[in-house]
Amino acid sequence: MRRERLSRQAAAGILGLLLVLAFSAWVQFKLVGTAGEGAVVTDTARYVELAQGFQETRSGRGPLTGDLVRTPGYPLLLLQAAESAEVTIAETVLVTQQWSETNAPGRALITRVLEIQCGLAIIVPALIYLMVLAASRSIALACLASLGYFTDPATLSFQFVLATEALSVVLLFAALAAFTLLLRTRTPLSALLLGLTLTSALLVKPTLSVLALILVVASLIQLFHDSTFRTALPAASLLVAATLLGPLAWASFNAITLGHFVYSKSAAWALQNFSAKRFVRLPIDDAELRVLQWHAQRTLETPRERSRSPPGHFVFTRSLSQVTEELGMEGEYDFLVLIERANSMAIRSHPMQFIVGGLERTRETWVKPYMHPNNKEAQRRVRDEPLISRLARQDDRLLLGRWTGAALLILGCFAIWQAKAEEQSFLIAAVLFVIAYTVLTALFDEAEVLRHSMQHRVLTNVLVIWCGWVVLRSIGLRARALAGRSH
């Protein structure tokens, strides 16, 4: 009897997964055909350049190339797309916002990349389904939560843009699904799977180190809490080693190619958006910093920069060639160290502006609408397709609009209190990640905080649905218990 019930549950779970995949594939089919205008954004050029270096190295036409800011995950996807489309990346011309000026190899590369990204987007709702099902054991909740992916039009249309978020959102949910598997099985194999997923995410988006830290610590607590030290040690060792594998390999690659053991200095790159405008007004004694200050001041005073809103977008790095030439720097590393010193001075001189501004941007992440300005065609299709438009919020806000952040905190606390053990461990880690990632992104990035918060927009909506379900389930159980006592 028990075996028959388990087999029926397994069949129902598989059927639910197939239905989620079918609906997701149908949505992507409805949105397909949007390749073209707006697919190339500002960041695309740097990733294409790195992918080109990998391709030339593979073919023996160029030396090994590294990067001290970007990581190789997304360039490797571009490389795979170029190889499958039989495109030489060096021959492509990719023009931001100008599909008509993109040449034939460039169009072939863009089309193949977007095909791959659409394929990856299909599996995101399936990962959400598996994640929720593994933690909650509820097929109905898993199906409902998987619809959370379709409630955010920004994420839903972003696979039609050549940027890391198209890949990192997939890896975020893959890591969370692997985490739920580890919570259920506690085996070395599940620990290895989680570690490899996290290391892949770290090779795509350095900011997902917040996710890696939270999931690794939560996993280690669970492993050592439920087992003896000797029993838990193999799984824990595999988890830590696999998670560190990617960053250490990339840092070693940079050490070989660029002479510096660096995983990523993306924090210094992003912080300049806060510090540059304030750094130029500081009294500087250091000769090298004065050179950087002078060039930053000249950039800020140009009419083009004054017309920007807000001004000061990557001011330091736009003067890279002039500063490095004037100071005789040998490479980008010394320049990035100089930026770190300037960032540190600006933050120490304006600590309250840094903190208060970060908190204000944290609030904006929850209450402001967001839609990436590129690929209007994809966004139009999201809005025009009747069923998709009913799921996606038309004001481009999170699921509950300006109340989403407050709802997540309130419902999350109550749900964590009432949830089952495995469900509770997952909800603690997931809610903590959303809060920590929101705050840290807001602190470190003054210019593109809403775009970078896309890493957790879908997860936020899924958690609101999930926590709301747990709260309603708890209320229903209490009401049933009270009714039983009255009888």
- With CA atoms as reference, report the closest residue to 280 among 265, 303, 256, 299: 299
Residue 59 per-residue DSSP state: T
For 262, what's the count of Cα atoms within 13 Å in the CB-facing half-sphere? 20
Mean pLDDT of each 10-residue bin along the chain, 487 residues long? 73 93 91 70 87 88 85 95 92 76 87 91 96 93 95 88 91 97 94 98 96 97 89 95 97 93 93 92 94 92 71 83 90 92 96 94 91 78 84 88 92 90 91 95 85 89 95 87 74
Q: Which residues of 182-199 are buried (b: 16+ CB within 10 A; e: fewer)?
A: bbeebebebbbbbbbbbb
The pLDDT value recorded for residue 95 is: 76
pTM: 0.94
Q: How far apart are CA 345 and CA 444, in angstroms?
A: 15
Q: How far apart are CA 213 and CA 202, in angstroms?
A: 11
The pLDDT value recorded for residue 25 is: 93
Q: How far apart are CA 366 and CA 403, in angstroms?
A: 8
What are the structure tokens assigned to 354, written together? 């840094």
The pLDDT value recorded for residue 382 is: 83
**Intra-chain end-to-end CA distance of the chain, in Å:** 31
The pLDDT value recorded for residue 42 is: 79
- With CA atoms as reference, report the closest residue to 87 among 63, 62, 70, 104: 104
Q: State the burial class of residue 138 (Cβ atoms within 10 Å of its Cβ: 0-12, 13-18, 19+).
A: middle
* Contacts with 68 (C-beta within 8 Å, 6 or more apart), sequence order: 254, 258, 260, 262, 264, 265, 332, 333, 336
The pLDDT value recorded for residue 143 is: 95
Q: Are 234 and 188 in contact (CB under 8 A)?
A: yes
